[in-house]
Structure 1
Amino acid sequence: MPMEREPFADSPVFTFDRPHRGLLRLWLDTGLPQNAVTHDNHSELGRVWGAVADDEARVVLVRGVNGAFCGGGTAAFLGPLVDDHRARMQVLDDMRALIRGVTECPKPVVSAIDGYCAGAGLALGVMADVSLVARSATLHDAHTIAGLVCGDHAAFAWPLLMGMAKAKYHLLTATPL
């Protein structure tokens, strides 16, 4: 479990430790069931990568706590996005920062996915340089259940990761992996 919060002590979402020389481990811990994200902590998923890039670590490992990687947004967070254009644009900016932060990180990023993984956490998990997924993990892009298109990362990344037919099946039917 997490051992220290320094030097990233101000992060509301991540706890960091250094179990081995050169390894920076990020523990994703929102304090909510399934590590869900809210309006208050969503932007931190993208903001943290500047500090990670400047850190002396040689590799970054991202994990969840309490049996979940990240369950995505809470209903209270996602609901208002339907009618609030400004909030919706902020979430899109946050997702862009998350995806760019992970993919442009100058250090290798490894995700260790266990338990449920959806939403912004799914983007973080599968956009890592290496994604280690437990057999018991569930990857779920549920955009179509809400009547939305898969546009934050899945539409371009999933076909590259698993092939077009399988990606379309899972994204269009919202069938979990």
Structure 2
Amino acid sequence: MSLVLFEIKDNVAFIRMNRPEKHNAINRELALEIQARLDDCKKSKEVRCVYFTGVGKSFCSGQDLEEVAKPDAPKVHIILTEHLNPIVRKIRQLDKPVVSAVNGVAAGAGANIAICCDVVIAAQSATFNQAFSKIGLVPDTGGTYILPRLIGFQRALAISLLSEKLTATEAERIGMIYKVLPDEEFVAGSIAIAQTLAKMPTRALEFTKKAFNQSSISSFEEQLHDEENLQQRAVETWDFKEGLQAFLEKRQPVFRGE
């Protein structure tokens, strides 16, 4: 059985973690498969958006603790440097938008993988939990970087210290995620968002993502300079020329992602 279900349809790459019996907990095999599929998305000109979700009732329950408990378990630094951190690094560096469709439990590293994506959509029944402190661990997989920037230092720290479970509605209210959809509308609605992104000017989305990534470590003047450079690159794309022409002709643009 493949641990990741992967397909490309209408310029959207679907990455579905496929360990439903383990709530999509991440072991070495799953981590490396996710990384490989993200690499495929980066290389493919057909892919213009990535849709990342879990099979079954959970998005991802985090690191597989049964793997950690084995006598021959990989060392923590191996789990982080080879398994988990490359996933969030590849998501942040991918030159295409990534939609995380949180269909159920997102806990520990699973929660941090979800919120590091560019557009986070959750089913109303989904939950988010920085579950690390309950078993004597520290938030990882980028959580201590991403979470305070989304919801503020004090709230992020408190949620992490208390291992507080958040409903999708609460996560939306505090700005952790973009949108909550009713369970019965979740699949169709979240896929529709990915399909919309796949039809947009992909290079402009790439440059926008770069600008926002850089903004967390740049001064205001540095950010103005970065925006200038990225805007110049955007102006030189085929899609900008199409967008401008469509505006002048009062029609809908047809972007090619070029």
The TM-score range, normalised by the shorter chain, is 0.7 to 0.9
Task: Say if 2:61 and 2:108, in contact at 8 Å, map to a contact too.
Answer: yes
| 1:156 Cα deviation after fit | 0.8
Give runs of aligned pairs for residues 43-58 of structure 1, distance below 5 A.
Answer: 43-55=32-44, 56-58=46-48
Give runs of aligned pairs for residues 16-95 of structure 1, distance below 5 A.
Answer: 16-19=6-9, 21-55=10-44, 56-80=46-70, 87-93=75-81, 94-95=83-84
Alignment match, 2:133: 144
Count residues with an aligned counterpart.
164
**Cα pair distance change 1:79/1:64, threshold 3 Å:** same
Alignment match, 1:169: 158
The amino acid of 2:148's aligned partner reads P
RMSD over aligned Cα atoms: 2.2
For structure 1, list consecutive stretches of 5 or more residues without a partner in the other structure: 1-10
- Over the matched positions of the two proteins, sequence identity in percent amounts to 26
The amino acid of 2:19's aligned partner reads T
Task: Say if 1:38 and 1:74, in contact at 8 Å, map to a contact too.
Answer: yes
| 1:144 Cα deviation after fit | 0.8
Task: Say if 1:46 and 1:99, in contact at 8 Å, map to a contact too.
Answer: no
| 1:50 Cα deviation after fit | 1.1
Q: Secondary structure at the match of 1:128?
A: coil
Alignment match, 1:132: 121
The amino acid of 1:15's aligned partner reads L
Range that drifts further, 128-137 or 31-40: 31-40
| 1:44 Cα deviation after fit | 2.7
Q: Which runs of 4+ in 1 moved over 6 A?
A: none
Alignment match, 2:252: none
Task: Say if 1:109 and 1:130, in contact at 8 Å, map to a contact too.
Answer: yes
| 1:160 Cα deviation after fit | 0.8
The amino acid of 2:8's aligned partner reads R
CA distance in 2, matches of 1:13, 1:101: 18
Give 2:3's match in structure 1, choosing from 13, 26, 33.
Answer: 13
CA distance in 1, matches of 2:125, 2:144: 24
Alignment match, 2:100: 111
- TM-score in terms of structure 1 length: 0.82
- Give the structure with higher Rg (CA): 2
Give the structure with the higher percent helix: 2
CA distance in 2, matches of 1:54, 1:152: 24
| 1:88 Cα deviation after fit | 1.5
The amino acid of 1:92's aligned partner reads L
